[in-house]
């Protein structure tokens, strides 16, 4: 099934961005709890992880932009609309996943880093970070499933 022209270019960029942005974001979020359990030895990596969570979450906007560029083109004349339930659901889940990363995981991680810097134990932050990582990862999985299956389309 060929995808010529701008649709093919946007589809390629959309998929590459999803792989190289959401993949690392999910991996970083999933690895933070075990890094926190290790304690102060992993402080430089935790600092990097905090920056990566913020950076990748914001960079995921590029995935939405490239996807939005394809909506009205569709492949082989199949016109899509932002009101399609699978597409609307994907956008909502993207907002939820990014919101969790930016409003739960990143701040909790920053507080944990500050606690470790002060000589304290940041393990009490594990619940919010682990829960956030699980929920955001679940959102990403459902988004991918919706993009592949396109229920109702």
Rounded to whole angstroms, how far apart are CA atoms 130 and 118? Answer: 22
Q: What is the pLDDT of residue 62?
A: 96
pLDDT at 44 over 60: yes
Residue 99's nearest CA partner among 91, 87, 111 is 91
Q: Residue 80's domain spans which residues?
A: 5-149
Q: What is the mean pLDDT of residues 80-93?
A: 88
**Reported pTM:** 0.89
Q: H-type helices in 72-125, by residue range?
A: 85-100, 106-117
pLDDT at 77 over 60: no
Rounded to whole angstroms, how far apart are CA atoms 118 and 125? Answer: 15
Q: Which residue has the higher pLDDT, 38 or 16?
A: 16
Q: Check residue 75 and give left, alpha or beta (phi > 0: left; psi -120 to 50: alpha).
A: beta
> Looking at the 3D structure of the chain, how many domains does it have?
1
């Amino acid at each position: 099934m060929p995808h010529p022209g701008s649709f093919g270019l946007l589809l390629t960029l959309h998929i590459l961005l999803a792989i190289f942005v959401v993949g690392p974001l999910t991996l970083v979020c999933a690895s933070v709890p075990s890094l926190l359990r290790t304690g102060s030895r992993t402080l430089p990596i935790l600092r990097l992880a905090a920056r990566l969570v913020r950076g990748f979450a914001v960079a995921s906007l590029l995935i939405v932009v490239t996807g939005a560029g394809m909506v009205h083109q569709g492949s082989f004349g199949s016109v899509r609309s932002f009101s399609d339930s699978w597409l609307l659901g994907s956008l909502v889940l993207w907002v939820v996943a990014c919101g969790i990363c930016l409003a739960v995981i990143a701040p909790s991680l920053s507080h944990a880093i500050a606690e470790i810097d002060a000589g304290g134990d940041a393990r009490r932050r594990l619940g919010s970070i682990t829960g956030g990582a699980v929920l955001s990862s679940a959102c990403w999985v459902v988004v991918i499933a919706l993009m592949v299956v396109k229920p109702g389309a």
